[in-house]
Structure 1
Amino acid sequence: MLFKVEMTIAIPDSLPAERVTEIKAQEKAYAQQLQRSGKWRHVWRVAGQFKNVSIFDVESHDELHELLTGLPLYPYMTLAIEPLCRHPSSIRDDDS
């Protein structure tokens, strides 16, 4: 199952800078692990914002929920999630 996930991050100013640096490092490692596994297929930064647009390829809604809530930045995120399906005009074999 493919999902488009928009993640908007708003870290409170009250969080110590050292903690923010630590969380961002954990987030990067976790995100790269998910990309290597094929679960997080694409990630794009939205220019000028602390936001990304990503494509996840998971077995179920529950798996998506588990992966997203496992993100170290999850407590500071607003998510917009949309299920995707293959377009009949697509020429790509790996987009289902």
Structure 2
Amino acid sequence: MLYLVHMQVQIPHGTDAAHADALKAEEKAFSQQLQREGKWRHLWRVAGEYANYSVFDVESNDELHALLAALPLFPFMKISVTPLAQHPSAIAAN
């Protein structure tokens, strides 16, 4: 199943810089692992924001929720999820 996920990161002001940097490094490693596994198919930055739009390819709502909740920056994110379906006019198959 494909999902369009919008993630907005809001690390609170005053957060220890070293701790924030460690979380960001963990987040990068985990996201790249999921990309290599084919679960995180696309990752696009929103220009001018600490946010992204991503496409996930996972088996279920529960799997997506588990992956998102496992992100190191999850406690600092506002997330919206849109399930996707193949459009009948699309020439490329998923």
The equivalences for 1:56-95 within 5 A come to: 56-93=56-93, 95=94
Matches within 5 A, 1:16-95: 16-93=16-93, 95=94
Count, aligned residues: 94
For 1:27-60, what per-residue CA distance to the aligned partner results, in whole angstroms no more than 9, with x for missing partners? 0000000000000000000000000000000000
- Aligned residues with identical type, % of pairs: 54
Q: Describe the SS at the equivalent of 1:7.
A: strand
TM-score by length of 2: 0.98
Cα distance in 2 for residues equivalent to 1:92 and 1:56: 17
Match of 1:11?
A: 11
Q: CA deviation at 1:84?
A: 0.3
**RMSD in angstroms over aligned alpha carbons?**
0.5
SS in 2 for 1:78: strand
Deviation at 1:15, TM superposition (A): 1.0
Shift of 1:13: 1.1
